[in-house]
């Protein structure tokens, strides 16, 4: 094969996402961004819960062995350790799957990271319904949990081209950050421009006056696809990337809800407690009367499966967003 | 080995003063963590007056030894010790558990940087401590880290996650103090969930252990010297303590949150005033 590194990546993908079956070698956008940052930031260290390949830390470990720590399969302890390191001036990035850093270690995150406002970055992988590994590995309420914690900032890049900015934003922010990381299934196109990311700001991806889709993470691509379909049907729909769920760009949400009068939220997450809830709270408190629909996991647990299958079955794909917008506009 | 420690007589005076203050603090509420406070007063005295490098004028001194109180509810003895050591204003003790006071019943870092982590949720301090120890090793910082853990907390799974890491990584800048008072909310520890043999458990996790009398200043001093001299392994001191220590009519009364009205407190204070403790 001759491409030792690429083969190594494929053999040690480790997260049972759909890209294993495509055979595509996808760069470690997250891992490379962290390594690049670590070169100029000697305070950055990484902790890993026995998931280095799946959380793109294997290369960091090789390059910075003295800044990489393995607490093993022990997430509660790992979060506490990161807090201790932050108290001693380090900027620890904690790596595991989203579900384990939220469901499993929530008390530790609340008491040892959020309450003391420590400079700990929690990088959670496998968000929502993106894995064959099933219900135990599917974080469907991580954003709801993290959003409810005082002092916590929530970032979710929409795609590969926004990952470097997301990692930088997390590192530059002083305080706890939950970084919800979806590993792209395909490499970026050669000419794809990098997207910026500003905490507390929404990002308009497509302009239209009939409705707005507020989407996060993986769902931004679905929303753009839905908007193109709606275009063909004569409905002009805006799509915004809500990469910062907390703080939410409240002014943006209110302005565009008023302008369009129809709001669909789209998240790879339960409809309870995440983006849909945050937008509903914002609009109701601001007295905005807009038609409103939440696309997301409809208060149910799921199962293992390919992302396409799960998005189709649990109502997260572009066609579901199209149907939601049509319902509001009819 | 430390040579400049206060005399045993001086330490006993400090411990008595701490006991008096914690009795007054708990009595104002008519209930509280008096028994485990009396039991731990000697080990707090030993740690804060002999072992830990602290600067009472600068609680945030970067090179200070870190002390974590994992049993954050053992707050009366903790705050009384800080006042005795000159780290907090003794007048603050008067506000213990009062609305708005930073002197809370579960020790909170609202008090200031002398509280290394907020630990009311049991079993968490050891992880934070090993994070600091690991970070200090990497940066070649010389301070030591002490953690005071209750024996009931040995039941928390996270304690053993942390134990595994510290043992596996040879964190010899860490000294864990287990306050073995055999008391937890639902009764004597061995009746709730027996953890024996405790020192075998720590040894199996790669720690060096010593079991000593938590009321004998000389034994404790020797044990802390031994812990400092131990290289390549974290150390754990199992300090056997007696709840209610110092007040004969309270000694051994196994009450986690004891009803403690003023007249009982007055009797206890009389014992300490008369020097018959």
pLDDT, tens digit, for every residue of B76-92?
999 999 999 999 999 99
Which of B69, B127, B133 to probe by mutation at the A interface, max A CB count within 10 Å? Answer: B127
> Based on C-alpha coordinates, what's the Rg of chain B?
18
Answer yes or no: is pLDDT of A17 > 90. no
Per the DSSP assignment, residues forming a β-bridge with A45 are A92
Classified as helix, coil or strand, A29 is: helix
Provide the CB-side half-sphere exposure for A6 (13 A, CA). Answer: 8
Residue B277's pLDDT band (cuts 50, 70, 90)? low
Max intra-chain CA distance, chain B: 54
Q: Is A300 exposed, middle or buried (0-12, 13-18, 19+ CB in 10 A)?
A: exposed
Residues of A in Cβ contact (< 8 Å) with B135: 45, 84-85, 88-90
Residue with tokens 């703080």: A247
The SS3 call for residue A125 is strand
What is the model's pLDDT at position B110?
Answer: 97
Beta carbons within 8 Å of A214's beta carbon, 6+ residues apart: A202, A240, A242, A253, A263, A264, A265, A266, A275, A279
SS3 A296: strand
Q: What is the structure's pLDDT at B244?
A: 96
Structure confidence at residue A21 (pLDDT): 60
Q: Which residues make Cβ contacts (< 8 Å) with residue A97, sequence separation at least 6?
A: A15, A51, A54, A55, A124, A125, A126, A137, A139
ipTM over cut 0.90: yes
Query: Do B164 and A72 count as a contact with CB atoms less than 8 A apart?
Result: yes
> Cβ B124–A115 below 8 Å, yes or no?
no
CB contact under 8 A, B119 and A69: no
Q: What is the nearest CA distance from A55 to chain B, expressed in angstroms? A: 21
- Whole-number Å distance between alpha carbons of A251 and A62: 44
Write down the pLDDT at residue B275. Answer: 79
Q: B121–A107: do the CB atoms touch at under 8 Å?
A: yes
Give the mean model confidence (pLDDT) for residues A72-89.
Answer: 98
- B200 contacts: CB under 8 Å, gap ≥ 6: none
Mean pLDDT lowest for which of A25-29, A58-62, B235-239? A25-29
Mutation choice for B interface testing from A70, A81, A105 by most B CBs within 10 A: A81
Alpha carbons B47 and B57: distance in angstroms, whole number:
18
Mean pLDDT throughout B180-206?
93
CB B240 within 8 Å of CB B213: yes
A66 vs B90: CA distance, rounded Å? 44
* CA atoms of B84 and A222, how far apart (whole Å): 64
pLDDT at A7 over 80: no
Hey, is A116 helix, strand or coil?
A: coil
Which pLDDT value is given to residue A5?
Answer: 43
* Contact flag B132-A84 (C-beta cutoff 8 Å): yes
The structure tokens 């294993």 sit at: A20
Contact B132 A66 (CB under 8 A): no
Is the Cβ pair B161, A76 closer than 8 Å? yes
Mean pLDDT confidence for A181-190 = 92
Banded model confidence at residue A185, pLDDT cuts 50, 70, 90: confident
The pLDDT of residue B4 is 82
- Between A246 and A19, where is the model more confident? A246
Question: Residue A232: pLDDT band by 50, 70, 90 thresholds?
Answer: very high
- Is A317 in contact with A311 (CB distance < 8 Å)? yes
Contacts of B60 in chain A (CB under 8 A): none
Per-residue pLDDT at B102:
97
Of the candidates B110, B73, B79, the residue with the CA atom closest to the CA atom of residue B92: B79
Contact at CB, B164 and A67, closer than 8 angstroms: no
Cis, peptide link before residue B85, omega less than 30° from 0: no
Question: What SS3 class is residue B32?
Answer: strand
Is A87 in contact with B62 (CB distance < 8 Å)?
A: no
Note the pTM of the prediction, 2 decimals.
0.95
Contact: B124, A108; criterion CB under 8 Å: yes
Residues in A closer than 8 angstroms to B134, CB to CB, are 69, 81, 84-85
Asked if A88's CB is within 8 angstroms of B124's CB, the reply is no
Residues 118 to 137 of B: which have CB under 8 A from any A CB? 118-121, 124-136
A6 has a pLDDT exceeding 70: no
Q: Does the distance separating the beta carbons of A88 and B132 come in below 8 Å?
A: yes
Smallest CA–CA distance, residue B114 to chain A, in Å, is 12
Check pLDDT > 50 for residue A8. Answer: no
Residues of A in contact with B129 (CB under 8 A): 84
Q: pLDDT tens-digit profile of A35-75?
A: 999 999 999 999 999 999 999 999 999 999 999 999 999 99
Beta strands in chain B (DSSP E): 31-32, 66-69, 145-150, 174-180, 183-184, 187-188, 208-213, 235-240, 258-259
B116: Cα within 13 Å, side-chain hemisphere: 31
Instruction: Record the tokens describing residue A200, joined without a space.
Output: 């507390």
pLDDT band at A14 (very low <50, low <70, confident <90, very high): low
Tell me which residue of A72, A84, A93 sits closest to B145, measured CA to CA: A84
pLDDT in tens, B186-198: 889 889 999 999 9
Chain A residues at the B interface, defined by Cβ less than 8 Å, are 45, 66-67, 69, 71-72, 74, 76-90, 92, 107-108, 111-112, 115-116
Which pLDDT value is given to residue B276?
A: 59
Q: Do A80 and B119 touch (CB under 8 A)?
A: no
Is the alpha carbon torsion for A48, A49, A54, A59 positive or negative? positive
Test B127 with A112 for CB contact under 8 angstroms.
yes
CB within 8 Å: A83 and B130: no
Instruction: Please give the pLDDT value at position B250.
Output: 95
CA distance A112 to chain B (A): 7
Looking at chain B, which residue has its C-alpha nearest residue A77?
Answer: B127
Closest chain A residue to B63, measured at CA: A88
Contacts 24+ apart (CB under 8 A), B256-259: B256/B33, B256/B35, B256/B36, B256/B183, B256/B184, B256/B185, B257/B31, B257/B32, B257/B33, B257/B185, B258/B31, B258/B32, B258/B33, B258/B34, B258/B35, B259/B30, B259/B31
pLDDT at A237: 98
Predicted confidence band at A9 (pLDDT cuts at 50, 70, 90)? very low
Residues from chain A that touch B127, judged by Cβ atoms under 8 A, are 76-81, 83-84, 108, 112
Whole-number average pLDDT of chain B: 96
Which neighbouring-strand residues pair with A179? A123, A155
Return residues 186-225 of B near A (CB < 8 Å): none
Of the listed ranges A166-180, B2-16, B59-73, the least confidently predicted one is: B2-16
Instruction: State whether residue B117 sits within 8 Å of chain A by CB.
Output: yes
More confident residue, A17 or A86: A86
The answer to whether B241 and B181 have CB atoms below 8 angstroms apart is: yes
Q: How far is CA B145 from CA A307, B36, B64, B204, in A?
A: 47, 22, 9, 22
Pairing of strands A44-48, A68-69: parallel
Give the count of Cβ contacts less than 8 A between chain A and B.
95
CB contact under 8 A, B138 and A111: no
Q: What is the pLDDT of residues A241-295, one digit of tens each?
A: 999 999 999 999 999 999 999 999 999 999 999 999 999 999 999 999 999 999 9
Instruction: Name the nearest CA neighbour of A115 among B61, B99, B117.
Output: B117
Residue B185 has a CB neighbour count (10 Å cut-off) of 10
CA A84 to chain centre: 26
Q: How does DSSP classify residue A139?
A: B
Inter-chain CB proximity B124 and A84 less than 8 Å: no
pLDDT value at A158 more than 70: yes
């Amino acid at each position: 094969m001759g491409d030792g590194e690429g083969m190594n990546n494929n053999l040690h993908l480790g997260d049972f996402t759909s890209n294993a079956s495509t055979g595509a070698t996808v760069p470690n956008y997250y891992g490379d961004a962290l390594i690049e940052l670590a070169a100029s930031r000697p305070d950055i260290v990484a902790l890993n819960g026995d998931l280095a390949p799946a959380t793109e830390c294997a290369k960091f470990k090789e390059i910075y062995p003295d800044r990489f720590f393995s607490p093993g399969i022990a997430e509660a302890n790992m979060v506490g350790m990161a807090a201790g390191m932050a108290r001693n001036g380090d900027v620890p990035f904690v790596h595991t799957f989203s579900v384990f850093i939220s469901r499993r270690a929530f008390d530790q995150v609340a008491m040892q990271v959020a309450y003391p406002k420590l400079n700990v970055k929690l990088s959670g992988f496998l968000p929502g319904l993106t894995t064959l590994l099933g219900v135990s590995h599917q974080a469907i309420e991580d954003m709801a949990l993290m959003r409810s914690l005082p002092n916590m900032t929530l970032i979710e890049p929409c795609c590969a081209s926004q990952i470097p900015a997301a990692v930088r934003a997390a590192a530059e922010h002083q305080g706890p950050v939950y970084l919800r990381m979806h590993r792209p299934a395909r490499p970026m196109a050669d000419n794809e421009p990098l997207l910026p990311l500003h905490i507390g700001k929404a990002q308009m991806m497509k302009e239209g006056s009939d409705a707005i889709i507020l989407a996060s993470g993986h769902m931004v691509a679905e929303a753009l696809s839905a908007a193109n379909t709606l275009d063909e049907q004569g409905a002009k729909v805006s799509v915004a990337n809500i990469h910062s769920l907390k703080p939410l760009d409240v002014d943006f949400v209110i302005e565009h809800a008023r302008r369009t009068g129809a709001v669909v939220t789209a998240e790879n997450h339960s409809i309870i407690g995440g983006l849909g809830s945050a937008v509903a709270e914002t609009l109701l408190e601001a007295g905005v009367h807009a038609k409103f629909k939440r696309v997301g996991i409809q208060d149910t647990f799921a199962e293992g499966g390919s992302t396409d299958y799960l998005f189709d079955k649990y109502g997260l794909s572009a066609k579901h967003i199209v149907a939601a917008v049509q319902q509001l506009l009819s | 080995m430390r040579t400049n420690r206060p005399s045993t007589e001086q330490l006993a005076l400090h411990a008595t003063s701490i006991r008096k203050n914690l009795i007054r603090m708990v009595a104002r509420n008519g209930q509280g963590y008096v028994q485990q406070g009396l039991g731990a007063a000697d080990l707090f005295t030993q740690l804060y007056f002999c072992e830990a490098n602290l600067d009472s004028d600068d609680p945030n001194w970067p090179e200070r030894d870190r002390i974590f109180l994992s049993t954050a509810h053992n707050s009366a003895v903790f705050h009384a010790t800080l006042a005795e050591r000159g780290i907090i204003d003794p007048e603050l003790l008067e506000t213990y558990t009062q609305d708005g006071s930073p002197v809370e019943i579960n020790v909170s870092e609202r008090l200031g940087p002398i509280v290394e982590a907020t630990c009311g949720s049991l079993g968490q301090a050891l992880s934070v401590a090993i994070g600091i120890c690991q970070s200090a090793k990497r940066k070649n910082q010389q301070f030591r880290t002490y953690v005071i853990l209750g024996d009931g907390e040995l039941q928390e799974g996270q304690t053993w996650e942390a134990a595994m890491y510290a043992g596996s990584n040879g964190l010899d800048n860490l000294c864990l103090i287990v306050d073995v008072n055999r008391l937890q909310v639902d009764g004597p520890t061995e009746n709730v969930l027996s953890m024996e043999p405790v020192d075998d458990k720590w040894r199996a996790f790669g720690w060096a252990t010593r079991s000593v009398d938590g009321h004998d200043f000389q034994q404790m001093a020797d044990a802390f010297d031994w812990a400092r001299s131990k290289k390549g392994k974290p150390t754990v001191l199992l300090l056997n303590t007696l709840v209610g220590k110092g007040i004969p009519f309270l000694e051994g009364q196994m009450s986690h949150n004891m009803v403690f009205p003023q007249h009982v407190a007055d009797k206890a204070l009389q014992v300490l005033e008369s020097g018959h403790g």
